[in-house]
Amino acid sequence: MKRILVALALTFVAGFAFAADEKPLPKPDVLTEETVYTSQRLSAVYDTIIIRDLTTDGAELSNLDSEEMTKLEAMKPLLVRTVTDSIEMELKLNKLFKTIQKNTQPKGKAVILEGAFTEFNAGNRAVRFWVGFGAGKTYLKVKGRLIDAESGKELATFEDRETGYRGTMTLENFADLFPHQAKSLGENIVKFIQKLY
């Protein structure tokens, strides 16, 4: 009887230890919205990250007239490239991952970073000037996820909105602000990844 109780107790303790290992890593608290599903640090499992260009399909276009929409359409490839290049540069500067690739097919133990722009908001300079307090601000919004290349399993998801660079009171237009905001989005995404690394 004693042996059965000891065996049950050990099974119970082992079950709790196993369950504790499965608890997801804590949220990095870097981006606007974050969900972490993985319980293992990225550095323990992956030596390669594949950065896929953010898509712009279906993104909300706010506070843009027809002339500005034409200008934004011409800017979209630049903004996509800026985010991708910013992510790549920050990953290298922080020495995260042995191999960093852009838009390639995964091989081996790789994590894929993919996502999309969800909103391009040109803001309103008159509202920023006359109302202030962040009203009429220009911003970009993105969402994305980290996935295991082999299984397709989501490791983490995120959303972020970048209004920075010159603050919410700047009188510059979106064409001047969006490239800087795109670069900041890339930097913020890497801060998120670094906390999971």
Q: pLDDT digit of tens for each residue in the chain (197 aa)?
A: 555 544 555 455 444 444 445 899 999 999 999 999 999 999 999 999 999 999 999 999 999 999 999 999 999 999 999 999 999 999 999 999 999 999 999 988 999 999 999 999 998 654 444 444 445 588 999 999 999 999 999 999 999 999 866 554 555 788 999 999 999 999 999 999 999 99
DSSP character for 117?
E
Q: Give the domain ranges of the chain.
A: 22-196
The type of residue at 179 is P
- DSSP string of 21-43, one letter each residue: HTSPPPP---SSEEEE--SS-HH
The pLDDT of residue 11? 52
The pLDDT of residue 127? 45
What pTM did the predictor assign? 0.83
CATH architecture of 22-196: 3-Layer(aba) Sandwich (3.40)
- b/e sequence 82-118, b meaning 16+ C-beta within 10 Å: bbbebbbebbeeeebbeeebeeeebeeebbbbebbbb
